[in-house]
Amino acid sequence: MITIDKLCYNSKLRYVNAGEKFAFAVITLLLCVMSRSIAVACIVLAVTGILTVYRGGIPFFRYIHFMSVPLAFLILSTLAIMFNLSHTPLDLFAIPVGTWYITSSWESFFYAVQLILTALASVSCLYFLSFNTPMPDIMNVLGKMHCPKLLVELMMLIYRFIFVLLSVSSAITQSQHSRLGNKDYKTSLKSFGAMASVLLLRSFKRANVLYDAMESRCYDGTLHVLNENYPPSRKHIWAIIIFDTLLLLFIIGKGIFL
């Protein structure tokens, strides 16, 4: 079981209606992305963080660790927006390199910060959903929203195969370590290539075995999964409506709705 799956099954919000959590995460994410506002992003980051850590019971440092992964990627990806190579120095800073300047402006700096915070707030909405809602419950919500059955079933099969491939790769990696398969860089590359090839073959074999098992259980083109239904809470529904309405009014009042 992967870490995110462990967290969502141990979350204090696990038994809250999945539709409520899904609606809150998706609507808040859409408002955050469409506004592209630093203030809105900070509000969303704070609210989803408090809900995930305080109400959901997710360890604070574990949450920070997961948030640092997209943050590092976002910082590296926005460096190209901040820095420019120009003959003319800009107002933030300018480092001379011959006749050129490695320079940046306040406008590009604030734009990069805006992109980072907006993307990070959007990720926090998805983390709120994934840390507090098991995958079968999410797929159940998608089914009730009349998403194509083929799409939902593919998600279910992919979700199942994640654990299968992780288990196989972990066993292969442990076996390689016990045989000094990672003693140096060259050997590590060779071991990784061997693991990838074996993993590909094992995945095809497991897929065939899984299909045979489904056929032996009268598979008719639809996967039937036992779902746990938790009644919706009027208090939670009103809290979602009030928060997203206030967020929308704040966006409109600031004139930052795109």
List the pLDDT tens digit at each of the 258 positions of the chain: 567 778 888 888 888 888 899 999 999 999 988 888 888 889 999 999 999 998 888 888 888 988 888 888 888 888 777 777 767 766 776 777 777 777 777 777 888 888 888 999 999 999 999 888 888 888 888 888 888 887 887 887 787 777 777 777 778 888 877 877 777 777 878 887 888 888 888 778 877 887 788 778 777 767 667 677 778 888 989 999 999 899 888 888 766 544
pLDDT of residue 238: 93
The token pair that represents 41 in the structure block: 């992003």
Q: Contact 49/127 with Cβ under 8 angstroms?
A: no
Q: What is the rounded CA–CA span in Å between residue 142 and residue 140?
A: 5
pLDDT of residue 28: 93
